[in-house]
Amino acid sequence: MQYGFSDRMAYMNGTATREIFKLLSRPEIISFAGGLPATEALPTAEVREIAYEVLSKEDSYKLLQYGATEGYVPLLKACKEYIGEFGVDVSGPADMLIISGGQQGIDLMCKSFLNAGDTVLVEDPTYLAALQIFNSYQAKAVGVKACKDGIDVSDLEEKIKKHKPKFLYVVPTFSNPTGKTYTGGNRKDIAAVTAKYGIPVLEDDPYSRLRFSGKKIDSLYSYAYEKNVVYITSFSKVLSPGLRVGVAAGDPEVIRKMAICKQGTDLHTCLLSQAVTAEYLARGLLAPAVQNSLPLYRERKQAMAEAIKKYMPEEFEHTDPDGGLFVWGVFKGCGIDTEKLLPHAVKRNAAYIQGSVFYADGSGRNTLRLNYSNATPGKIDEGMKALGIFFKETIAKEKK
């Protein structure tokens, strides 16, 4: 059969990563490639009880009917308060849209703004799946230089002038892939420069609540001078990714467009998931559950930092995040190509993600991302030992 697939499919080739992921299902592999919240942090018993209760009410049939695209009202109300904790002040439900995870928020922003050939600015490196979504809209992602405090604002300004982007996409707190957090000053500067040129910003914030050290920082949204920041967050990393619930907030004019786009995508987010999330929030379960999970994330991040120190070659420099799920590493002064080496590392029963997939232009071949949330400290030590030996051997061979 000769299929007439859309032109956009040409931009959506399966990545090498997907092939590697198939290998990772082998039980002997210790994988630092994923990005899942810790299994131990999933509140199965509470969700079971809440699901039973919300389905036991007299009008529970409503949860099995169609619902409003904008979202389930009790959840919208709860979300106003929830996002307010990070300085995302909204005047009411018109400023919000319940989304089926942050991933859908990115997609709806793209669907609302992008024509083929448009440009989106991103931090270099940035969230891999966002790059894939931009590709699916036949848009071009252009990387803005990263700096210690966040993104390089003069490079941002230059690239705004040069590329006239439709919007800027950033993950300012415990970024995926680097684990880095933008300073307040950097957020302020980004807000100022994007307002100056009338550029919308998509702030993607799945990780703010997974802070195990350092001081809380408010959203970039809270620094905005104009209503140009759309904020998205989701309950995936603090409650359950399987429920597929998140929220977008911003200028009602933009939110309205996103809601229209959502109608074509899934009509509305699963009502049962929304009701469970709303009730979980109403019972005040989220904050203590997150609080209880933080020592586990802290312990695993520390195990990763210690294992890196113990086993990785001196050419390896890495971030030391205060939260989130990822450590980012760069090999300096050697010829390590993490993309080429990944299949060989997997043969040693340990895996990472090559950093190049997080760069808009596919560069960064000397970088990698390590996820620490889904392995015990013992497994982290074992896996990093295997990777450390492998990289040290590779560098030694190269020097011969």
Which of 95, 107, 189, 204 contacts ligand PLP by CB under 6 A?
204
CA atoms in the 13 A half-sphere facing the CB of 44: 3
- Nearest CA-CA partner of 150 in 88, 226, 220, 202: 220
Crossing angle of helices 377-399/286-311, nearest 10°?
30
Q: At its nearest, how many Å lie between ligand PLP and the CB of residue 236?
A: 3
DSSP sequence for 16-76: HHHHHHHHHTSTT-EE----PPPGGG--HHHHHHHHHHHTTSTTGGGGGS---TT--HHHH
Site string for ligand PLP, 331-360 (x = CB under 6 A): ------------------------------
DSSP for residue 253: H
Which of 67, 93, 101, 200 contacts ligand PLP by CB under 6 A?
101
- Nearest CA-CA partner of 361 in 135, 42, 31, 97: 135
Q: Which is nearer to ligand PLP, 101 or 383 (CB)?
A: 101
Which of 172, 246, 252, 364 contacts ligand PLP by CB under 6 A?
246
Q: Which is nearer to ligand PLP, 207 or 311 (CB)?
A: 207
Q: Which stretch binds ligand PLP (CB under 6 A): 98-106, 210-218, 306-314, 340-348?
A: 98-106
Q: Which is nearer to ligand PLP, 326 or 391 (CB)?
A: 326
Q: Which is nearer to ligand PLP, 127 or 311 (CB)?
A: 127
Residue with tokens 């989130």: 324
Q: Strand 246-249 vs strand 229-234: parallel, antiparallel, or unpaired?
A: antiparallel
Q: At its nearest, how many Å lie between ligand PLP and the CB of residue 241?
A: 5
Structural contact between residues 273 and 243, judged by C-beta atoms closer than 8 angstroms: yes
Q: Which is nearer to ligand PLP, 101 or 388 (CB)?
A: 101
173 binds ligand PLP, rule: CB under 6 A:
no
**How far is 2 from 19, CA to CA, in rounded Å?**
25
DSSP sequence for 222-269: GG-SSS-EEEEEESTTTT-STT--EEEES-HHHHHHHHHHHHHHHSS-
Q: At its nearest, how many Å lie between ligand PLP and the CB of residue 371?
A: 10
Site string for ligand PLP, 253-292 (x = CB under 6 A): ----------------------------------------
DSSP for residue 211: B
Q: Which is nearer to ligand PLP, 95 or 204 (CB)?
A: 204
Structural contact between residues 250 and 222, judged by C-beta atoms closer than 8 angstroms: no
DSSP for residue 116: T
List binders of ligand PLP among 17-46 (CB under 6 A).
35
Q: At its nearest, how many Å lie between ligand PLP and the CB of residue 268?
A: 16
Binding-site size, ligand PLP (CB under 6 A) = 13
241 binds ligand PLP, rule: CB under 6 A:
yes
**How far is 50 from 58, CA to CA, in rounded Å?**
15
**How far is 72 from 58, CA to CA, in rounded Å?**
17
Structural contact between residues 72 and 297, judged by C-beta atoms closer than 8 angstroms: no
176 binds ligand PLP, rule: CB under 6 A:
yes
Which of 171, 258, 303, 305 contacts ligand PLP by CB under 6 A?
171
127 binds ligand PLP, rule: CB under 6 A:
yes
Q: Which is nearer to ligand PLP, 173 or 394 (CB)?
A: 173
Residue 11 CA to chain centroid, in angstroms? 21
Residues that bind ligand PLP (CB under 6 A): 35, 101-103, 127, 171, 176, 204, 206, 234, 236, 241, 246
